[in-house]
Amino acid sequence: MPDDSPLFLTAAQAGALIRRRALSPVEYAEAVLAAAERAQPRLNAFVTITRERALAEARAAEAAVMAGAPLGPLHGIPVSIKDQVDTAGIRTTHGSAIFADNVPARDDILVTRLRAAGAVLIGKTRLPEFGHKGLTDGPSFGATPNPWDPSRTSGGSSGGAAAALAVGLGPIALGTDGAGSIRIPAACCGVVGLKPTLGAVPWESAADAFGNYTYAGPMARSVTDAALMLQAIAGPSPQDPWSLGRTGLATLSPGLLGEDLSGLRVGFIERAANPRLDRDMEANTRASLDALAALGAAVEPVTEAIDWIELPGRMMYQGNYAVSMAKHLPEWRGRMDPALLAFVERGGAFTLAEFRQAQYARTRLFRAVQALFERYDVLVSPTLTRTALPIDFDAANDEVEVEGERCGITRQGWSAYVYPFNLTGHPALTVPSGVARDGLPTAVQIVGRWGADLDVLRLGALLESARPWSGRRPPAA
């Protein structure tokens, strides 16, 4: 790739160049779109590439620059949107044949906010059917491979977004996270992903707004870009009760303003519901903790016996799919993902009493995590137990192997660290932590107090500085 290519500029860098009239939004969009079209046959990251619309938006962005008009914080910056989020006049398929021809009449509020900030929509990214699993594949589109190794998954369910970011197809992307679906693919592909505090970013699509544990959030190649995007999409919506009463993001804790972390208390979560942790993932997590300690932070292991509610969490997750998918089964069962159908069948077997007991367990987990924050300012864990799974992994039936040991299904053996914080609502950020022996990225998760989204981003930025990653690019780039 030529050194003068704009593909691996950060959004912050590109925005500054655009303001100085040193980078044309049209030429920038053209470069990203051309790269996306070249990569699509091998990467399969996009459902739709919105070439004509993107170029029209880029031309309008360039005209505004030349006219000296007020510019938004993401003016002229290419962005992709996960194909689970409504876009006016552009298909939103939810990764399913059921919605193959679904063209929404209006933008989701988050798309509206990104457009208002000046972002240029380049396309809609892949997800498994209705975002039900941590791998991005499905009967209606095949698979989205990992750009570091096409024999591995890109993760899921925001796998298209993560794969596209990793190879320079835009600096920012909007993902969603119902059980780790931003953080899993970000970790697999070596990019940054934030699941915000519940309510910080509205999620208007929730069928159960009050019992919601699905989030929309920023994905990017740098922590700064994730923060810029978060600022653009955060804020209340009248359609999301968790967002009401929030006037914006909480302020950054004063102790994190500089690079002296003296007084910061870090709790290291070595295990959640997983029986094993890969040695490379552990080593790179400990190296990240050492980097925080070198800045003055006090790091200690979390020794409390936390019930991470793996089974109750599964009851809620699969039980909700059993209810939401029931209306589609008579007509569409034969064209739906077998893993999703397995989740539906298992979810339908749980009783109402079991489902309610699982909801009570969610409250207990929240209170247990809140108790940890009486002693710690931040919690750190690996994001996953190992690097990306094989691309043909069966999420409904296969067991995850960690260093040759079978460790259970994905939520037990691979992604045990992420889903608990969907249930508790705390902000959780994943940032790259290094490379494993297999050549794939590893990642670390930073979890903050409720509302402390800027704190976890700041700590992520310090790790990014102490253990630089941005210069690494996958072979597919």
Q: Which residues are catalytic?
A: 82, 157, 181
Q: Which residues touch 190 (CB under 8 Å, ≥6 apart)?
A: 148, 166, 432, 441, 443, 469, 472, 474
252 and 458 Cβ atoms separated by less than 8 Å: yes
Q: Strand locations in 303-457, DSSP E?
A: 378-382, 401-402, 405-406, 428-435, 441-448
CA distance 353 to 257: 48
- Give, in order, the Cα–Cα distances in Å from 289 to each of 146, 441, 457, 471: 27, 17, 15, 21
Burial class (CB in 10 A: 0-12, 13-18, 19+), 150: middle
The closest of 227, 171, 199, 193 to 415, measured between CA atoms, is: 193
CA distance 409 to 412: 5
DSSP H helices in 20-89: 25-43, 51-67
369 and 424 Cβ atoms separated by less than 8 Å: yes
Q: What one-character-per-residue DSSP string does 268-287 give?
A: E---SS-S---HHHHHHHHH
Give 197's Cβ-side CA count (13 Å radius).
21
Provide the terminal-to-terminal Cα distance of the chain, rounded to the nearest Å: 8
CA distance 50 to 29: 11
- Give, in order, the Cα–Cα distances in Å from 166 to each of 7, 346, 476: 10, 35, 9
